Amino acid sequence: MIKTVPKKLGAKAIFGFLLLAFLIPWSSAYALTNEDCIECHSDTELTTEKDGKTVSLYVDVAIYKDTVHADNGCVSCHVEADVEGDEHPFPMSPVNCSECHDTIGETYMNSAHGEAAMMKNDALAPKCKDCHTKHDILSPKDRRSTTYPMNIPFTCGRCHREGSNMTSTHELGKHNIVENYSMSIHGKGLFEDGLIVTAVCSSCHTAHNVQKATAPNSSVNRNNIISTCKQCHVGIAEKFKNSVHSATVTKTDKKLPICIDCHNAHTIARVKDKDFRLIIAEQCSNCHSHETETYFETYHGRASMLWGGERTAKCSDCHGSHDILPAQAPGSKINADNIVNTCSKCHPKANASFTTYLPHATHHNKDKYPYLFYTFWAMTGLLVGTFSFFGLHTVLWVPRSIIERIKLISKGH
Amino acid sequence: MDKEPILWIERFSVFQRFIHLLIILSFITLAVTGMALKFAIEDWAQWIAYTSGGFAVLGALHRFCAVITFFYFFLTMILLYTKWRDSGQSIFGFLLDPEGLVPNLNDAKELIATVKWFFGGKRPYYGRWIYWEKFDFMAVFWGIAVIGGSGLALWFPVQFSKFFPGYWLNIATIIHSDEALLAAGFIFTIHFYNTHLRPEKFPLDPVIFVGSIPVSELQHERPREYDQLIETGELAKLATRRAPEAWLRRLSAVFGITIVSFGSILIVSIIVTMLKYIQHGMH
């Protein structure tokens, strides 16, 4: 049996080859070769009028030879041109890529782009050629390709930027996407370091299955974000899964945070960057507002608001980030067994007594922090008392002092 | 303009003036750097931090000036020690000297007399030190003990918590911050008004910089001291025709008015901010 299989396959292959060899020359006896097409279409001045606009019909053969379709005949896409004689029908129907790329075609048809283009007939919605070009379709690995990682932001940015035809006629929700992206850690990786494994638009939004974030099957839907980021950040996703913020650990009806709640989608910053460190408390305050407010009453919080304040302790410095656990969990950074270690990161030789410092202290809570409450009000009393006494003293003095001055002047001093 | 007075008398020695210069420079720096942290959420505080190069710079300046503060406190102790030694009095005699710096019953009487004066009575028979000046001087002791002590705890929190519970640092923060607000608020409003900004002196009483005052001014302002100097025959010995140098008086005016302006700007920022907080019902 084993030996007969290749024999059978071999027989089929030979039969197929012969069939093709027989059919190809005879099926289109007058088939146009690419050279025939080029005869006219290499003319850079060959144009036509379409919707009142002059459209070039020139094809750059030099580039075409490098494209992924170099071995295809012109007529394999432009099927209507496959006619006898010199002239093909005009105008011809648009090229249908899904003749060959059927799976991608189907995915595209169900995407936000495909739906807009095909179902809603939105003239601005992108079709294959808008991202991939027509005769210049290079491999995504080719530096010149519109789908090469370093070029993708520009390809998408043709529409998704402020002032484009698209954004001036459509409300796309997010703004300054390209600018924000290029300032983000992903964008900096791409543009500053030329790191092509960094996330580009299609890494998160997919190439052909682009969906609005509200669509349940979108790669950027809240429920799918973690898996989307996990494509690259596997270790982080694993840590996060065991943290208090993960739905596998905390069962709650409340909204649990996902990657983009702390790391903004298009403005995502390097976590050690000042910009990121300065907004950590703000991010956490979306859910933990009381803890953040009281943090800002302490030295750490106050200093963090000032220039250079990124250095002082932020939420994540004490609580961790992807591995946050409740204080009573043995692995928690603020668990009694670990807290000396946690404080020691900034305060070498910290001891157990030191860790009783209240990093979320407030003098507004009489029941929880009576000593802070009474200290504050005792100090306030001292201030009010002193200023009342001397304030009154000064106020009473003012008219007398004016009179004294006038006396001095009239005496000729 | 005032006529040029004929006779002058020294009120503050060079050493005393030097101490006060240290106080001015360290105090205003401590106030600016500390208030920037206390009111960090405010634009003006963030401007201070940004302009000075960041909160780490503010922290370094604050600690440096804290050292200056302990240093001038030490110098003041030396000053008092030499005063006591030269006085030939016992330690209690020196402290309880009716013309000394320690508040006494006569100050209470003078306070009442002063209030009467405000309402049209006679100008009180003031001596060398008036009660509001004594309060300023005593506040340095009180302030340095409270702000200095709590400040050291916050400077060395780990060492502090070896001896005291760590949460006392939270208490120290409140005490340090509010006592500092009291100190800065007091100096930049009450002291500035009492000494420089009241119409009789406006815009500046330069005596703490130039050291001497005209004898005529002494007679008018501190009649008891003047009479005592006449009685003991000291005045004839101490009075001099040498007026403070012109350059020193000019420099004093520029420096003094600058500092008074800085302090006033800071305290106005603080008052506006505090009023805003009170209006919004927060602290």
Task: Write out the DSSP string of A84-130.
Answer: SSS---SSPPPP-GGGT-HHHHHHHHHSHHHIIIIIS--TTS--HHH
Neighbours of A276 (CB within 10 A): 21
Interface subset of B 64-123, CB within 8 angstroms of A: 115, 117-119, 123
Q: Respond yes or no on whether ipTM tops 0.95.
A: no
Cα distances (Å, whole numbers) of residue B49 to B43, B111, B272? 10, 42, 19
Nearest to B166 among A355, A376, A390 (CB): A355
Q: Which domains does chain B have, with CATH numbers?
A: 8-280 (1.20.950.20)
Cα distances (Å, whole numbers) of residue A405 to A390, B125, B173? 21, 18, 43
pLDDT at position A26 is 46
Strand partners, A47: A56
Distance CA A301, CA A324 (A): 20
Distance from CA of A106 to the nearest CA of B (A): 54
Q: Does residue A134 register a pLDDT over 80?
A: yes
Interface subset of A 348-407, CB within 8 angstroms of B: 348-351, 353-358, 361, 363-364, 369, 371-372, 375-376, 379-380, 382-383, 386-387, 390-391, 393-394, 396-402, 404-405
* Contact across the interface for B170 and A296, Cβ inside 8 Å: no
State which amino acid sits at residue A409.
I
| Secondary element (H or E) of residue B242 | none
Residue A218: band (very low, low, confident or very high) from pLDDT cuts 50, 70, 90? very high
Chain A residues in contact with B56 by the CB 8 A cut-off are 308, 311
User: Contacts from B58-63 at CB under 8 Å and sequence distance 24+?
Assistant: B58/A306, B58/B33, B59/B33, B61/B29, B61/B33, B62/B29, B62/B30, B62/B33, B62/B34, B63/B155
Q: Of B168, B178, B190, B167, nearest to B34 (Cα)?
A: B178
Q: Is the N-terminal amide bond of B5 cis, ω within 30° of 0?
A: no
pLDDT in tens, A26-63: 444 455 788 888 888 888 888 888 888 888 889 998 88
Q: Check if A8 contacts B (Cβ < 8 Å).
A: no
State which amino acid sits at residue B157.
P
Cα distances (Å, whole numbers) of residue B274 to A303, A404, B117, B265, B267? 19, 33, 33, 14, 10
Distance CA A363, CA A378 (A): 12
* Contact across the interface for A347 and B158, Cβ inside 8 Å: yes
* Contact across the interface for A353 and B57, Cβ inside 8 Å: no
Cα distances (Å, whole numbers) of residue B65 to B38, B155, B173, B181? 17, 13, 18, 17
Distance CA A104, CA A126 (A): 14
Nearest-by-CA chain B residue for A360: B170
Nearest to B178 among A298, A353, A383 (CB): A383
DSSP state for residue A312 in the 8-state scheme: S
pLDDT at position B3 is 58
Residue A4: band (very low, low, confident or very high) from pLDDT cuts 50, 70, 90? very low
Residue B141: band (very low, low, confident or very high) from pLDDT cuts 50, 70, 90? confident
Comparison of pLDDT for A178 and B31, the residue scoring more: B31
pLDDT at position A3 is 40
Q: Check if B60 contacts A (Cβ < 8 Å).
A: no
pLDDT at position A2 is 42
Burial annotation B211-246 (CB, 10 A radius, 16+ → b, else e)? bbbbbebbbbbbebbbeebeeeeebeeebeeebbee
Residue B4: band (very low, low, confident or very high) from pLDDT cuts 50, 70, 90? low
Distance CA A159, CA A227 (A): 27
Interface subset of A 275-334, CB within 8 angstroms of B: 296, 298-299, 302-303, 305-309, 311-312
* Contact across the interface for B50 and A307, Cβ inside 8 Å: yes
| Secondary element (H or E) of residue B276 | helix B246-280
pLDDT at position A175 is 84
Backbone angles phi, psi at B114, to 5 degrees: -65, -45
SS3 content of chain B, % helix, strand, coil (to 5): 75, 0, 25
pLDDT in tens, A333-389: 999 999 999 999 999 999 999 999 999 989 999 999 999 999 999 999 999 999 999
Chain A residues in contact with B202 by the CB 8 A cut-off are 405
DSSP state for residue A56 in the 8-state scheme: E
Nearest to A379 among B117, B161, B174 (CB): B174
Chain B residues in contact with A311 by the CB 8 A cut-off are 56
Q: Is the pTM of this model over 0.90?
A: no
Distance CA A106, CA A121 (A): 17
Distance CA A109, CA A111 (A): 6
Chain position carrying tokens 């197929």: A16
Nearest to A303 among B3, B37, B161 (CB): B37
pLDDT in tens, B46-94: 999 999 999 999 999 999 999 999 999 999 999 999 999 999 999 999 9
Structure-token pair, residue A271: 């976590």
Q: Does residue A306 register a pLDDT over 60?
A: yes
Distance from CA of A396 to the nearest CA of B (A): 6
Mutate one of B43, B155, B158 to test the A interface: name it (highest A CB count within 10 A).
B158
State which amino acid sits at residue A338.
N
Q: Is the N-terminal amide bond of A399 cis, ω within 30° of 0?
A: no
Backbone angles phi, psi at A56, to 5 degrees: -75, 140
Q: Does residue A25 register a pLDDT over 50?
A: no
pLDDT in tens, B15-30: 999 999 999 999 999 9
pLDDT at position A16 is 58
State which amino acid sits at residue B14.
V
Q: Of B206, B183, B213, B189, nearest to B252 (Cα)?
A: B206
Sign of the dihedral defined by the CA atoms of residues A359, A363, A364, A367, in that order: positive
Nearest-by-CA chain B residue for A407: B200
β pairing state of A53-56 and A47-50: antiparallel
* Contact across the interface for B45 and A306, Cβ inside 8 Å: yes
Distance CA B140, CA B69 (A): 10
Q: What angle do CA A214, A216, A217 make, to 5 degrees?
A: 115
Q: Check if B145 contacts A (Cβ < 8 Å).
A: no
CA A194 to chain centroid: 17
Q: Does residue A22 register a pLDDT over 60?
A: no
Distance CA A365, CA A61 (A): 78
Percent of all residues in chain A with a pLDDT value above 90, rounded to a whole number: 60
* Contact across the interface for A404 and B200, Cβ inside 8 Å: yes
Percent of all residues in chain B with a pLDDT value above 70, rounded to a whole number: 98
pLDDT at position A5 is 41
Q: Of B79, B71, B193, nearest to B132 (Cα)?
A: B193
Q: Does residue A23 register a pLDDT over 80?
A: no
SS3 content of chain A, % helix, strand, coil (to 5): 50, 0, 50
Question: Where are the alpha helices (H) located in A219-361, listed in sequence order?
Answer: 225-230, 234-241, 259-262, 274-285, 289-295, 299-304, 315-319, 339-344
pLDDT at position A384 is 96
CB–CB contacts below 8 A, A to B: 149
Strand partners, B213: B9
Chain B residues in contact with A375 by the CB 8 A cut-off are 171, 174-175
* Contact across the interface for B185 and A375, Cβ inside 8 Å: no
Q: What angle do CA B105, B110, B111 make, to 5 degrees?
A: 100
Q: What is the 3-state secondary structure (H, E, C) of B174-223?
A: HHHHHHHHHHHHHHHHHHHHHHHHCCCCCCCCCHHHHCEEEHHHHHHHCH
Residue B103: band (very low, low, confident or very high) from pLDDT cuts 50, 70, 90? very high
Distance CA B206, CA B25 (A): 16
Q: How far apart are the first and last CA of chain B?
A: 47
pLDDT in tens, A47-104: 888 888 888 889 998 889 899 999 888 888 998 888 877 778 888 888 999 999 999 9
Distance from CA of B22 to the nearest CA of A (A): 25
| Secondary element (H or E) of residue A53 | strand A53-56
Chain B residues in contact with A404 by the CB 8 A cut-off are 123, 199-200
Q: Are A74 and A32 in contact (CB under 8 A)?
A: yes
